[in-house]
Amino acid sequence: MLRPAFKNIVLFYFIKYILFYILLMFKNKDYTLIDFKGFRNSEDVIYYLWMFLFLPIVCIIIFSVPLYFAFKARRWIYFVAVVFLIFFAEYFLYTYFASQLNLMNGMYSAVISLAVLFLLFFRSIRLIFNQKNKPS
């Protein structure tokens, strides 16, 4: 079976968060993500990287391994259950750390996650759903 490599799952989280930050940038009319004029020294660059890379790195550390093993599931129901649990946990992680006042941002994150997951791993997901149910 064609399973995604671990580096592809890490790439999934970076792409997902880039798209998510772009959506929030337009939604909130806050273009800090692309405003590089305010950098005066290396400390500003480190602060910028910390602000925008904290959540993707935390998600990679916490959720990459479970997502990787979800693609090894022999039955589609296990795959769906693990992916649902990952997205559910990611929603709560995001709303707790970054968006306690606007819970819809967590929903936007989940929708983007689902879309990027299907775009990047469509063939692998299709194989999981099309394979015969083998005993576990």
* pLDDT the model gives residue 133: 54
Tens digits of residue pLDDT in 49-93: 887 888 889 999 999 999 999 999 889 999 999 999 999 999 988
Distance CA 17, CA 132 (A): 34
Q: Indicate the pLDDT class of residue 28, thresholds 50, 70 and 90.
A: confident
Q: Is the pLDDT of residue 1 over 70?
A: no
CA 19 → CA 16, 71, 87, 109, 126, distances in Å? Answer: 5, 23, 16, 9, 24
> What percentage of the chain has pLDDT greater than the value 70?
93
pLDDT of 132 reads 66
pLDDT in the model for residue 95: 87
Whether the per-residue pLDDT at 101 is higher than 90: the answer is no
104-132 pLDDT, tens digit per residue, is 888 999 999 999 999 999 999 999 998 86
The predicted pLDDT at position 105 comes to: 87
Helices (H), the chain: 6-28, 42-70, 76-97, 104-130
